[in-house]
Every structure is written in C-alpha cells, then in structure tokens.
A = this chain, B = another copy of it.
Amino acid sequence: MNKAPISRFSTPEIADLPDDIRTRILTVQEKSGFVPNVFLVLARRPDEFRAFFTYYDALMDKPGNITKAEREMIVVTTSNANQCQYCVIAHGAILRIRAKNPLIADQVAINYRKADITDRQKAMLDYAMKVAFEAYAVNGADMGLLASHGFSEEDAWDIAAIAAFFGMSNRLANVTNMRPNDEFYTMGRS
C-alpha cells in the first residue's frame, strides 16, 4: 500500500470520528473495498464533511434525464480543466464503471470534443465548461442550445450545479494536495 501522505493537512483516525461520519466511511469501505481519500481528508472538518457529502448525494444520486455516467462525464471534463488529480482519477474510475466503457474517462478528461460521445453529450459538456470558466456569460442562448438537444430546464440546473460543485471540490482537492487512492487508477479498465 502506498504510504505517501493523502493530504497537506493532518487527517483523523476513523475510530475518532463522529458516529455518522464513521458510519458513512465504513459503509463506503465495505462497498468499495477501500476508503476513498476524499472522505479522510474532509473528515478533518466534520461539519463541512456533512455538508459536502449531502450536497454530493443531492447532485449525483438524484434521478433525472442525465444519466449517472453523464454526470461523471461532467465531473471528469471540468476537473481536468481545473487540473485536479483526485477528481479526474477517482471520478474517471466511476465513469468507466457507470458507462461500462474503459476508454471514455481518459477521452473526456483530455479533450471531450474528440471523445466517443454523442453530440448531445458534447453540448452538455460545452455548457458545463462554460459554467466552470465563464459562468458570468451564461445566457438564454445557452438554454436554447441545451433545449435543442433535448435537455429540460431541470437538466440545465443539474449540469450547472454539478459543474459548480465540482469546481469547489477541485479547489479543495488542489489546496489540500488530496491524493487519489491507488485503486482508482485501474478500476473499470478491463
């Protein structure tokens, strides 16, 4: 197991965490076979941990027209543009698994415009990138473009909220030097 530090800041022992946080972490560990480092890095601040993962669940687990794989595409695309190692590598793994496609994550991370995705998905990612880098200029024409690809008003909110939330997450991960677990690199590749 890799012994490099997983954060610039110290991280708590799981045993010392408040019950709800410890339970969430142990549940993830049971399901995944390891504890993704984001849980340990953020657990240093229990209140922020709770808010972060409540928000995360609200955006990534909700039903809607945008599939779970597509939600991960938004994360992976914007996170590489923000140069966030943790988010690209961890969510790249989830994207490969959810899309059942071993190539998709690297493709959308590096240049989604050249990825094996639909035009609708490219329009979704164009908009997500605009939210990530030029949200001040988002306008009615963007909404019209999304609608022309079949995205509803709710979808427009979802895409924007995911891009915005992971913009926060990318910054936290970069500031903390959050280290991706070794396990993520190969998940979903075969």
A interface residues, Cβ below 8 angstroms from B: 4, 8-9, 44-45, 47-48, 50-52, 54-55, 57-59, 62, 80, 82-85, 88-89, 92, 102-103, 106-107, 109-111, 113-116, 131-132, 135-140, 143, 153, 156-157, 160-161, 163-165, 167-172, 174-177, 179, 182, 185-186, 189-190
Output the residue of A92, A107, A174, A186 with the most chain B CB within 10 A: A174
- Contact check: which of B106, B160, B165, B189 meets A175 at CB < 8 Å? B160
Flag if A135 contacts B82 (CB, 8 Å).
yes
Once bound together, how far apart are the Cα atoms of A164 and B83, in whole Å?
15
Contact status A82-B168, CB under 8 Å: no
Once A116-B4, A136-B83 are accepted as A-B contacts, the answer to whether A161 and B167 lie under 8 Å apart by CB is no
For A137, give the chain B residue with the smallest CB separation.
Answer: B113
**Which of A82, A131, A172 has the largest count of B CB atoms less than 10 A from its CB?**
A172
Q: Which 9 A-B pairs have the closest CB atoms?
A: A51-B55, A83-B136, A164-B171, A47-B58, A135-B174, A51-B54, A135-B171, A168-B168, A160-B175
Q: CB within 8 A of A110: which of B88, B131, B135, B175?
A: B88
B153 x A172 contact (CB < 8 A): no
A165 and chain B: residue at smallest CB distance: B168
| Contact A186 B190, CB 8 Å, known A58-B51, A85-B111, A168-B164 | yes
Residues of B near A168 (CB, < 8 A) are 164-165, 167-168
Bound together, the chains give a CA A103 to CA B89 distance in angstroms of 10
A58 contacts across to B, CB distance below 8 A:
45, 47-48, 51
Pick 26 A–B contacts, CB within 8 A, sort by A: A8-B140, A44-B157, A45-B161, A47-B57, A48-B55, A48-B59, A82-B136, A83-B111, A85-B106, A85-B111, A103-B182, A111-B174, A113-B136, A113-B137, A113-B139, A114-B174, A135-B170, A136-B174, A138-B174, A156-B175, A160-B171, A164-B168, A165-B168, A167-B167, A168-B168, A189-B189
